[in-house]
Structure 1
Amino acid sequence: MKIALAGVLAASLIVGPAVLAGSVQAAPDPAALAYKLPDQIAWLGDPVKGPLTFVLWGDPTKAGPYAMLVKWPPHQMSRPHTHPNDRHIYVISGIWWVGTGKTFSPETTTPIPAGSVVTHFAKQFHYDGAKDEPAVLEIVGEGPQ
């Protein structure tokens, strides 16, 4: 349920509001909802050294649930690593490439296209990233305890 709700939120952040020809638009009541259009998302990180991130809610560095967007620039891949808890990933756009194990082998990674879901299990080695095109993910997980 959390993954489905977070996926809808992430999709609405990326896609933005629909614009109808000839319609009159009014700004939504900020007490009822908040939104960011794609050019308003304040991505953090260095696009040369690794993925960019935007936290939707929670704090991935602290105990408790969180959801975040991750944008992998082309030709970027993490090295083998683990996470202390399961992480649930939805691929929003692009092709995300994943591999498992302690040996870094980007040529043997598996392509995961947009619309796919992946679970990284706790304490299991994996690596991932983008090859020829960017990939945008939504990650839902529990921060370290």
Structure 2
Amino acid sequence: MRTTILLTLFSALAVPAMAMDHHATVQADGLTWIAPAAYAPGAQLAVVKGDPTKEGQYVVRLKVPAGFKIAAHTHPNDENVTVLSGSFNIGTGDKLDETKGVQVKAGGYSYVAKGMTHYAWFTEETVLQLHGTGPQGVIYVNPADDPRKK
């Protein structure tokens, strides 16, 4: 009897939470793109779900042109990267080095652990989908590489 009461209580508590956030859809043409301050000019960012600057899950898209580079940096939390179109080159270390790294093609995935120093460069226009748990951010190894300080 006690188990039945507890299950009923937890089930009743869970339903309102699921009803509030159980399903979401976003069409690509419905995204709002902005120029993110943390990246050099040319990058565009769209929030798909959540808020990457706050606690909780987030999903964002990053669109960059061919020739775009992201200097060595870290993130305060793990980041999951899926290449939706184009390709993305990622390397590890304190300085961007295009002779090292791995190319991730459309449909590919990359995991970047919290605090891992890495960099990226793009040889073609690319759209990435990034997701993880916030708050997320970009911390450049060399402060002079940070576009927010220019």
Q: Same fold (TM over 0.5)?
A: yes
1:129 equivalent in structure 2:
121
**Distance apart, 1:129 and its partner CA:** 3.2
Q: Deviations over 1:12-41 (max 9, x none)?
A: xxxxxxxxxxxxxxxxxxxx9754353x43
Instruction: Report the 3-state secondary structure (helix = DSSP H, G, I; strand = E; otherwise coil) of the residue aligned with 1:106.
Output: coil
State yes or no: 1:71 paired with 2:63.
yes
What corresponds to 1:94 in structure 2?
A: 86
Give the match for residue 76 of structure 2. 84
**Correspondent of 1:44 among 34, 43, 61:** 34
Return the alpha-carbon distance in structure 2 between the equivalents of residues 110 and 100 of structure 1.
Answer: 10
Compared CA separation, residues 48 and 100, structure 1 to 2 (3 A): closer
C-alpha RMSD of matched pairs (Å): 2.3
Q: TM-score under structure 1 normalisation? A: 0.68
Deviation at 1:104, TM superposition (A): 1.6
Gaps of 5+ in 1: 1-31
Alignment of 1:100-119 (within 5 A): 100-119=92-111
In our comparison, the structure showing a higher alpha carbon Rg is 2
Q: Specify the SS of the correspondent of 2:116.
A: coil
1:11 equivalent in structure 2: none
Structure 2 letter corresponding to 1:97: N
The sequence identity of aligned pairs, in percent, is 31
1:141–1:106 CA distance, 2 compared to 1 (3 A):
same
Amino acid corresponding to residue 84 of structure 1 in structure 2: P
CA shift at 1:50, angstroms?
4.4
State how many pairs are aligned: 112
Match of 1:60 in 2: 52
When residues 33 and 94 of structure 1 are mapped into structure 2, their CA distance, relative to the original with a 3 A threshold, is: same
Report the TM-score, using the length of structure 2 for normalisation.
Answer: 0.66
In the alignment, the residues of structure 2 paired with residue 112 and residue 139 of structure 1 have an alpha-carbon distance, to the nearest angstrom, of 14
